[in-house]
Amino acid sequence: MSMRLAVAAGVMLLAAPASAQTDSSAIRNAVTIKAIRAHQQALADIATDNGGSRVSGSAGYDASAEYVAEQLRQAGYQVTVQPFHFLNFEETAAPQLELVSPDAKTFAAGADFVTMRNSGAGTVEGIVIPTVDLVIPPSTDPSSTSGCEPEDFPAPPDSPAIALVQRGTCTFQTKVDNAAAAGYAAVLVFNEGQPGRQDATTGSLATPVSIPSVTTSFAVGDELQALAQAGEVRARVAVTATTQSVTTANVIGESPQGDPERVVVAGAHLDSVGEGPGNNDNGSGTAVLLEIALRLAEQGGPPVNKLRFGFWGAEEWGLLGSQHYVEQLTPEDLARIVLNLNFDMLGSPNAVNFVYDGDGSDSQPAGPDGSAEIEAVFLDYFAGASLPTRPSAFDGRSDYGPFIARGIPAGGLFSGAEDLKSESEAADFGGTAGMAYDPCYHKACDDIANADEATLEALAGAAAHAVWHYANEVPAPAMLAASTRSVGRSAGAVPLEAMLLRGGGHYQR
């Protein structure tokens, strides 16, 4: 590592935090929006050259991993490319969904319905049978338990039947597994209907299923439910797809210096969805974390704690890269990790400055012991910079999930995804109430132009501050206690299964 202090031109225009624990001005001044955007542009170019995406298992992802690994090597990090296998689902023909009777109607793929990842293949024509516990009109908050219990499914007739299920409080996997076990030949899961949960959305099944399974818009589900109340409804659903094992990899860069008994893991997922280039989700977190790592390598003096920068693969398939990383660690290696910082989506165009709710003051459960201290580091920073924040629940939607499932304290930042900005948020953060935080979330339009640079700059400053703080400060006693927990890491852990039930991975629920 070079001992040179880098203070680049065009520094971030953020006030020094008045109450934060550490003076992070050197790293914040070094990490510039120009450099972050350059990394994002490099990833965008990779997507353009590889069919429009950087999805794990593709050439676009492999090129992204090579880019990050080479940048880290040149900066002096010890780089590990950690391969792992996962099941890759690929549709080989356009899916079909048609209303056969009482009237004929063809629904539009991509607009009215979307095939779930890991759906079974085949063509089914049969009676549409709604499950119990449908909530129409929808409640204010997600509450439908439709399909969450085996008894939610009426006994199907002897001829093929298609289950009509509503999105809600349990995973897509649970709903589809219950439908298959009840004897249904296909499943339609319609969106729940609240603002932000109305369109057809990509659903991901953690394990492949044998029956065709698609998600639909709330409007389609509402229409089919109303028809079913009046009489028999027949529909036809067709999915043509294959599922095969493919290899992808995590990229991990570790500082050669720092206390090996106190490891700080800072992570961001490197993959995009197959539908687009993923410049905000998660080219933004990747670019910020990579630039922080590069500039830290130029600072004067070794870190107090060992730093490990993780760029995770297959997050969009259900947190698979970070889960693989955590699962392959020995109990001793796990005990050395004192905390995890996670940066997933930092430049949403209609953003809010979300901070993970480590102390559980706004949502339950709280993170493992030590998570409250991480939240406080971020909140102190934002307060000192006179920037508003909102809490974000530990709902398992990103790569901190496997860490907190093992009792490792965690924290991080998020600028918002498909949910809609509220009136109060628009008043505090600007932007448009009633519009998604990121209207291009998981779409082809998540390109280099899909960013709010002011938000990206502000959250990059907060991320740099937190990484600098934990690089150079002895962790809080709660974190050190966490690192000496018994094998199994049960104390303070949040079960990964419980997180999956609340949303684990962008698509799971």
Domains 25-88+245-502 and 93-239 share a fold: no
> How high is the mean pLDDT of the chain?
89
The Cα–Cα gap between 457 and 434 comes to: 24
The stretch 373-388 carries a mean pLDDT of: 96
409 cis-preceded (ω within 30 degrees of 0): no
pLDDT at 466: 97
Q: With contact defined as beta carbons under 8 Å apart, do 168 and 197 qualify?
A: no
Q: With contact defined as beta carbons under 8 Å apart, do 347 and 459 qualify?
A: yes
Q: SS3 for 436?
A: strand
pLDDT at 508: 53
Residue 10's alpha-carbon distances to 28, 32, 33, 132, 461, in angstroms, are: 11, 7, 8, 59, 13
Residue 355's alpha-carbon distances to 33, 404, 414, 417, 460, in angstroms, are: 20, 16, 7, 14, 13
Q: Greater confidence, 13 or 63?
A: 63
Q: Could you tell me the residue ranges of all domains in the chain?
A: 25-88+245-502, 93-239
Provide CB contacts within 8 A for 306, sequence distance 6+: 254, 255, 257, 258, 259, 260, 262, 263, 264
The Cα–Cα gap between 289 and 251 comes to: 12
315 is catalytic: yes
Transcribe 326-338 into DSSP letters.
Answer: HHTS-HHHHHHEE
CATH 3.50.30.30 fits 93-239, yes or no: yes
pLDDT at 266: 98
H or E element in which residue 91 lies: strand 78-91
* Residue 142 pLDDT grade (very low, low, confident, very high; cuts 50, 70, 90): confident
pLDDT tens for each residue of 193-225: 988 889 998 788 878 999 999 999 999 999 999
* Residue 253 pLDDT grade (very low, low, confident, very high; cuts 50, 70, 90): very high
Task: Determine how many CB atoms are found less than 10 A away from the CB of residue 323.
Answer: 22
Is a pLDDT exceeding 60 seen at residue 415?
A: yes
Closest CA to 469 of 287, 255, 303, 268: 303
pLDDT at 509: 62
29 cis-preceded (ω within 30 degrees of 0): no
The residue type at 73: R
* Residue 21 pLDDT grade (very low, low, confident, very high; cuts 50, 70, 90): low
CATH 3.40.50.1820 fits 25-88+245-502, yes or no: no
Closest CA to 439 of 199, 231, 260: 199
Residue 493's alpha-carbon distances to 150, 316, 391, 393, in angstroms, are: 29, 23, 20, 15
pLDDT at 302: 83
Is a pLDDT exceeding 70 seen at residue 482?
A: no
pLDDT at 505: 40
| β strands within 119-160, DSSP E | 122-130
Task: Write down the pTM of the prediction.
Answer: 0.80
What is the percent of the chain with per-residue pLDDT over 90, rounded to a whole number? 80
pLDDT tens for each residue of 284-342: 999 999 999 999 999 877 899 999 999 999 999 889 999 999 999 999 999 999 999 99
Catalytic hit among 223, 315, 373, 457 = 315
The Cα–Cα gap between 281 and 347 comes to: 9
Provide CB contacts within 8 A for 389, sequence distance 6+: 353, 354, 355, 378, 379, 382
What is the percent of the chain with per-residue pLDDT over 70, rounded to a whole number? 89
pLDDT at 385: 95
Copy the structure tokens of residue 64. Answer: 């992204």
Q: Greater confidence, 68 or 244?
A: 68
Q: SS3 for 141?
A: coil
pLDDT at 76: 96
Is a pLDDT exceeding 60 seen at residue 64?
A: yes
Q: With contact defined as beta carbons under 8 Å apart, do 336 and 480 qualify?
A: no
* Residue 376 pLDDT grade (very low, low, confident, very high; cuts 50, 70, 90): very high
* Residue 479 pLDDT grade (very low, low, confident, very high; cuts 50, 70, 90): confident
Copy the structure tokens of residue 172. Answer: 């897509």
Copy the structure tokens of residue 35. Answer: 């450099």
Is a pLDDT exceeding 50 seen at residue 490?
A: no
The stretch 456-464 carries a mean pLDDT of: 98
Is a pLDDT exceeding 70 seen at residue 503?
A: no
Q: Which residues are bridge partners to 463 per DSSP?
A: none
b/e map of 106-115 (b: 16 or more CB within 10 Å)?
Answer: ebebeebbbb
Closest CA to 469 of 24, 26, 19, 25: 24
pLDDT at 22: 82
pLDDT tens for each residue of 110-127: 999 999 989 999 999 999
Q: SS3 for 129?
A: strand
Is a pLDDT exceeding 90 seen at residue 463?
A: yes
pLDDT at 485: 46
pLDDT at 141: 79
CA 189 to chain centre: 21
